[in-house]
Every structure is written in C-alpha cells, then in structure tokens.
Amino acid sequence: MTEEYKILLVEDEANVAKLFSYNLQKVGFKCDIAVNGEEGFEKALNINPDLIISDIMMPEMNGFEFRRKLLDHPELRKIPFVFLTAKGEDDDILEGYELEIEDYIIKTSTPQVVIAKVRAILQSKKKERAKAVEEVQKAAGSMGAKVVPSEFPKFEGYDIKHWHVPFEETPGGDFIDYVNVNDDYLVVVLGDVMGKKWGAWYFAVAYAGYVRSAIRFAIESTGAIKAGEIVQSVNKSIFKDERLSDVFVTLSIILLNKKERTAHYSGAGDLPIFVCKNQEVEVIKSNGLLLGFNEVGDYQDITIELQQDESIYMISDGILESRNPSTGEQFGKDRLIEVIRRIKPTENSVDKIKQAFSEFTSSKYEDDVSLLCIKGLPN
C-alpha cells in the first residue's frame, strides 16, 4: 500500500527532482521536495517522512553534511536514508555506507529500478518493525505487566477517567497509574519514557514500579505525603541508577486529598496540565527538571482547589503533536484548550476530547496517546 508512505526528496536540480517526484507519485507515494540539506532537515522535522532520498552534490549543505546532521538528531536518524548520485565512484559509495545509509540510487537508473529499490527498503523496514512489535507484545503477555490500568479508580468526591492508545498498537513508553495511599489520598500518575523506540515499554514498567516505591517511601519516612516529595524521591533513585542514565522520562503527579478537596501537582520535564473552571481554562506548567538530570530537581508542589464540575486534564505529547493528515498541522495546545472550554458539565470530558482529536487526526496518531481527566463531584 504505497499511498501510506511519505518520501522526502532532497535534490537541487529542478528537472531531476521533477522526474523522480513524478515517478514516485505515479505509483502512489507521497513525495515532498527540498533543494538542499538545510531545507531538507527542516522538512524532515515537519513531515517525519518514511524515507529520505538525497543528492550528494548540493549548494549550502551537501548530502554528506545533511546526513551527518540527521544522525545527530535522536528521531530523524531512525528514518531510512538513500543517496541519489550521478557518480558511482567507490570513495563516494564507501563514505555513504559509513554514514549508515540503506543504499545508493544512480540518477540514470530507470524508473522501474528506482521504484523497486524504494519498495524493497520500505518493505524491509516494515518487516523489521513487525518483528520488534511481535517481540514486545509477547513479552508484555508473558510478564503480565501493564503500564495502563484496565479500569478507572473509584475515589470519593472525584470522577477519574483516562484514554490511552499505544502507537500503532505497540506497547509503548506512556504509563498511567493510580495509587491509593489511604482512605484520604489518591495519587494519579502519568509518565512518558522517551528515546527508546519500541523498547520504551520495558522502561515504562520499571518506572511505574519506581513511582509506587517512592510513594510508599515518602509516607514511611515522613509520615506525610506531598507531590513534590514523591517526584524528588523518584528522581533521586533514577539519578543513582547508572542503568537508566540514557533514558529520558517526563513525569506528572497529582495527589488528591479527599478531605480538603484539593489536588497537589508536581511535574518533572512534563507538559502543562489544564485546569477548567466555569468554562475557563488555566494552563499550569511545572519547572521541575527531567528525571535523573540532577540529584536535586527543585520539584514544586502546586495546590489546586477542585470543586464540583471543575476538572484537571493531564496529557502526553502524542495529543499535542499528532497532525491532521491533509494539512500537516499539529493538534496543538490552543486547539485542546478550545475543546476543553466547550465541554458542558453534563458531558463526558474524555469522550468529547477523544472525538475531537480523532476527527482532526483521522485516528492516525504519531506517538502514544494518553489523556487523564479528574473531575470534582458534588459533596
């Protein structure tokens, strides 16, 4: 199904770019063109192509420089890369393969050869990914481990719901947890493990365990519990664990106090939370460092009063960064705020956001998608 694939062609010669683009689109690929490495890098960031085909000899930034810049980017380096060249000299070919490319395409190749090579590369990557997905799913099943609860928690005075969709049905890096401290306190947790591709799931399981342990430790050591203390306890454990030194994690924690009708929020490198009262939305951003960056992370404890029909929303970056397939526009913070603002007190907030988000993205998401809503109920 070639129409699913996006190809970025980086070529400064207009006639060559036009010819290759025509042949690729003729068989169903979507093809975007850039005229040099600088423009190619910006387009790669914006469209996240399935394959990049680049000329070598170009002005401003040549193909080798472009490839090196891609390799320095943690996400763009994963995109399959092919050099397009008029030369077939051994030195050029060897230098290209040292830059972890998939193949070379000679400009004088027939359209049939070009299409065959492109299809073979994409199919190969598809099979690699399918195998990795299968292995992760088998591991998840054999371990019986979950990073997202199958049921919503019951906690007096609050209605709590979540929605989670793993990227392309693969267990991923987002994790959600609910920890009942005692009759008066419930801790709501949203985390996102980044930079580990499909293996992020394994780390998500570990981090969920860290958070639970940190909550118990905070209670036993201080006799009280604060959101900022929980995050600091997790951070301290991560900072001392060398196995997790290259794993980047964001964390949002909300501690609900049933007696006081308050929510206490603390975050580590996370996205803002959204608080809706009387159809007005306040965006609250924590300044806490990503977990493990420093032994002391300066994690705040922000208090939010939450009365009847007032809500708090927590999200992962899959919500904001997923795009409209027609325009390429991200769903974004402003659009989410507008959707939240229009939700009536009698409506299911999670369902309304899910509907708007799915319609905007045509249910094609670019990352794990996680959404939590905490709503105050009548006393």
**What is the CATH classification number for the domain harbouring 7?**
3.40.50.2300
Q: Do residue 50 and residue 169 come from a single domain?
A: no
| Mean pLDDT (whole number) for 297-309 | 91
- From 140, 157, 177, the end of a domain falls on 140
**Range in 3-12, 75-84, 132-141, 361-370 the model is least confident about:** 132-141
**Range in 97-101, 134-138, 189-193 the model is least confident about:** 134-138
Q: Classify strands 273-277 and 311-315 as parallel, antiparallel or unpaired.
A: antiparallel
The total domain count for the chain is 2
Q: Mean pLDDT over all residues of the chain?
A: 84
Q: Is the pLDDT of residue 229 over 70?
A: yes
Q: Do residue 287 and residue 317 come from a single domain?
A: yes
Q: Do residue 151 and residue 129 come from a single domain?
A: no
Q: Do residue 224 and residue 361 come from a single domain?
A: yes
Give me 152's structure tokens.
């919503």
Q: Do residue 94 and residue 151 come from a single domain?
A: no
Give me 247's structure tokens.
């794993």
Specify the 3-state DSSP secondary structure of 53.
Answer: strand
Q: Is 357 left (phi over 0), alpha (psi -120 to 50) or beta?
A: alpha
| Mean pLDDT (whole number) for 316-333 | 90
Q: What is the pLDDT of residue 105?
A: 85
Q: By percentage, how much of the chain surpasses pLDDT 70?
A: 84
Q: What is the DSSP string of 290-348?
A: PTTSSS------EEEE--TT-EEEEE-HHHHH-B-TTT--B-HHHHHHHHHHH--TTS-
Q: Do residue 111 and residue 49 come from a single domain?
A: yes
| Mean pLDDT (whole number) for 231-241 | 81
Q: Do residue 82 and residue 104 come from a single domain?
A: yes
| Mean pLDDT (whole number) for 138-144 | 49
- From 98, 117, 140, the end of a domain falls on 140
Give me 236's structure tokens.
């301290």
User: What is the phi/psi pair of residue 191, to 5°?
Assistant: -130, 160
Q: Do residue 165 and residue 221 come from a single domain?
A: yes
Q: Do residue 163 and residue 223 come from a single domain?
A: yes
* Model-wide pTM > 0.75: no
Which residues span the domain enclosing 183?
A: 147-376
List the one residue out of 287, 338, 346 whose CA is nearest residue 313.
338
Q: Do residue 131 and residue 271 come from a single domain?
A: no
In this structure, the number of other CB atoms found within 10 A of the CB of residue 249 comes to 28
Beta bridge partners of 277: 280
Q: Do residue 244 and residue 336 come from a single domain?
A: yes
- From 99, 122, 140, the end of a domain falls on 140
**What is the CATH classification number for the domain harbouring 286?**
3.60.40.10
Q: Is the pLDDT of residue 220 over 60?
A: yes
Beta bridge partners of 303: 264
**Range in 136-145, 284-293, 333-342 the model is least confident about:** 136-145
| Residue appearing with tokens 């209605």 | 159
| Helix (H) or strand (E) run with residue 361 in it | helix 349-361
Q: Do residue 103 and residue 166 come from a single domain?
A: no
Greater pLDDT, 2 or 262:
262
Q: Is the pLDDT of residue 180 over 90?
A: no
